[in-house]
């Protein structure tokens, strides 16, 4: 279970951790994994066997994930509380902790919504679920989160978080969409199967009962679209969208309506874990800005500058 705010971070065993994809794979332009292929009995390369071998490898550092939730529906609607007795944040944090992440939770009701400078400084990836109380999120906290994203903190925006202040601020568009609550089937098709966020996922994820979100989804074109949804009622929707803002990585993931057990679905939990791996800040150089001394010897006698 994740710790309540104010505690020290949980130290989870690394025994169950799976090998994480090195981030530089994607930076180098290819999503394909470079794990050693394994020959099967027919002499053909079997990547699944290679995956099974590397899955035993342990990693040395744990990605610190702060799971944020407005935590309103859980307190106001019994059906939601029944589905998520520890809150949506509790369900997500537990699923991530089981997959080897160092998790904490934070909610709207806490001082500074649980997102103090210290908490954000110790957060590699922030996940965001909100719906009924977007306007109650303090602008100062939104600015603080935005600053950390630009510095390199990962941000996973979930479901109705599309309309949160932080997502709209980072996208620069209305982030509006069409919707319908009819407990209809959704298929999330993987449209970028080599992307690390799709690792271990089947060709599509089928959710028997979901809220429909339909296009047009008023977002900037994603850097990479990983999932595209089809709904029983006929609409389609860009359901898994990757962005970069500053040094930070952002992933919008559509599933998650509060009256359906979406976050108990193992495939959805796998995508969330993959997304946290993908979005976690790397160890790249600290960028420097402003007037710069030349690295090589050059003639600096030009005096036409007005600065
Ligand atoms: Zn919803």
Is residue 138 situated within a structural domain?
Answer: yes
| Whether the predicted pLDDT of 284 surpasses 80 | yes
Please check whether residue 297 lies inside any domain of the structure: no
The CA 122 to ligand 1 mean position distance, Å, reads: 29
Q: How far, in Å, from the CA of 282 to the mean position of ligand 1?
A: 32
- Amino acid 306: pLDDT: 84
How remote is the CA of residue 257 from the centroid of ligand 1, in Å?
A: 4
211 domain residue, yes or no: no
Residue 256 sits in a domain whose CATH number is 3.40.50.880
Query: For residue 18, is it within any domain?
Result: no
On whether residue 139 sits in a domain, the answer given is yes
Structural domains counted in the chain:
1
205, β-bridge pairs: 188
Give pLDDT tens digits for 128-153: 999 999 999 999 999 999 999 999 99
| Gap from CA of 128 to ligand 1 centroid (Å) | 13
Domain range for 89 = 64-172+239-279
Distance 48 CA to ligand 1 centre (A): 36
Q: Tokens representing 284?
A: 């790249």
pLDDT tens-digit map of 190-223: 999 999 999 999 999 999 999 999 999 999 999 9
H or E stretch at 96? helix 87-98
Q: How distant, in Å, are the alpha carbons of 89, 90, 100, 124, 307 from that of 104?
A: 9, 9, 13, 11, 48
Model-wide pTM > 0.75: yes
Q: What is the mean pLDDT of residues 94-122?
A: 98
Cα 58 to ligand 1 centroid, rounded to whole Å? 37
């Amino acid at each position: 279970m994740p710790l309540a705010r104010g505690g020290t971070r949980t130290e989870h065993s690394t025994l169950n951790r799976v090998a994480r994809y090195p981030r530089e794979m994607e930076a180098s332009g290819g999503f394909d994994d470079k794990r050693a292929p394994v020959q099967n009995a027919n002499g053909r390369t079997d990547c699944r066997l290679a995956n099974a071998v590397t899955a035993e490898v342990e990693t040395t550092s744990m990605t610190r994930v702060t799971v944020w939730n407005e935590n309103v529906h859980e307190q106001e609607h019994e059906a939601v509380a029944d589905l998520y007795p520890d809150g949506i944040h509790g369900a997500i944090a537990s699923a991530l902790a089981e997959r080897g992440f160092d998790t904490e939770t934070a909610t709207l009701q806490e001082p500074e919504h649980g997102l103090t400078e210290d908490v954000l400084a110790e957060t590699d990836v922030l996940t965001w679920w909100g719906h009924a109380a977007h306007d109650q999120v303090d602008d100062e906290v939104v600015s603080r989160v935005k600053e950390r994203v630009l510095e390199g903190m990962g941000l996973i925006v979930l479901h109705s978080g599309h309309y949160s202040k932080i997502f709209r601020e980072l996208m620069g568009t209305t982030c509006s969409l069409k919707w319908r609550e009819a407990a209809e089937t959704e298929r999330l098709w993987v449209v970028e199967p080599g992307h690390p966020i799709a690792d271990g996922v089947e060709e599509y994820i089928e959710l028997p009962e979901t809220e429909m979100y339909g296009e047009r989804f008023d977002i900037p074109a994603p850097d990479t679209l990983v999932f595209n949804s089809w709904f029983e009622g006929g609409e389609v929707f860009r359901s898994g969208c990757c962005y970069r803002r500053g040094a930070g990585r952002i992933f919008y993931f559509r599933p998650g309506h509060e009256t359906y057990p979406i976050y108990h679905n193992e495939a959805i939990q796998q995508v969330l874990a993959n997304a946290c791996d993908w979005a976690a800040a790397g160890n790249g150089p600290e960028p420097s800005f402003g007037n710069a001394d030349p690295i090589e010897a050059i003639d600096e006698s030009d005096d036409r500058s007005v600065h």
